Amino acid sequence: MELADRGFTGSIPQLYERYMVPLIFEPYAVDLAARVAALQPAAVLEIAAGTGMLTRRLAAELPPGTRIVASDLNPAMLELATTLGTARPVEWQQADAMALPFADASFDLVTCQFGAMFFPSRPQAFAEIRRVLKPGGCFVFNVWDHIDSNELADTVTKALALTFPDDPPRFLVRTPHGYHDVEQLRADLAEGGFEHEADIITLPMRARAESPSGPALGFCQGTPLRGEIEARAPGRLPELTAHIAQAIGERFGVGAIDTLMQAHVIIVGR
């Protein structure tokens, strides 16, 4: 992963929230929050909360007495999350998964929605997560499966590869969809100190949008892919976003779209 892959700055958080969250993140947030609630934790830490989609679901699903701490490394994303708010109070905190600012054995459960792919060292982050978990606690998270199982991301990547054949943007392959190998996940969890075998569920869902333009805006302007496009074609971002919308329309139709996406859900005990 490159440092620029964590660049959720400028207008990216707003576009991410408007287009990407309902498209691909909300369905998995509903699933993850339900899994967390079923475990009945008294204190929950969320890592890489982003603009707060999972946080909002946790606040709605968990009892009022359950402590929820929602954290993210990126101040711009966390600021938007706090502005959007939750159904009940939660604790917001900027935090780096590589060095969590919490005491040992502070939480019954740690959760993370599509953030592990961005950790510079997954074993180190997993070790920190294990450290802040109470004995008997649980780590519940998800990561995207291979890009071939995620049709929109695959379409965007292939269309940009045709546009920039000599130096195709690889953000989506490299980072969001770059941590899909189940055996690597198990090895990294073990290296991070998790001794129990993880339950890993491969979960297909559907990504839906009213038209190709929303996904094109989301992927091209609401993720760090934007920086790769702008670096290769300064001043052409609107034109290339329209080009991606056309590619999505050619594959899925110009009206409402309904496509496959797929992720792994991982549950591992302390």
CA 157 from chain center: how many Å?
18
State the pLDDT confidence band at 11, using cuts at 50, 70 and 90. Answer: confident
- Mean of the per-residue pLDDT values for the chain? 96
Predicted TM-score (pTM) of the model is 0.94
CA distance 82 to 96: 17
31 pLDDT more than 90:
yes
In contact, 69 and 44? CB cutoff 8 Å: yes
2 pLDDT more than 90:
no
For 177-225, write each residue's pLDDT tens digit: 999 999 999 999 999 999 999 999 999 999 999 999 999 999 999 999 9
Residue 122 CB neighbours (<10 A)? 21
Q: Which residues contact 258 (CB under 8 A, 6 or more apart)?
A: 206, 207, 208, 252
Structure tokens at 114: 């599509």
In contact, 51 and 17? CB cutoff 8 Å: yes
Of 170, 110, 181, 109, nearest in space to 144 by CA: 181
Structure tokens at 159: 């269309």
Q: Which residues contact 141 (CB under 8 A, 6 or more apart)?
A: 32, 110, 111, 112, 113, 115, 116, 265, 266
State the pLDDT confidence band at 7, using cuts at 50, 70 and 90. Answer: low
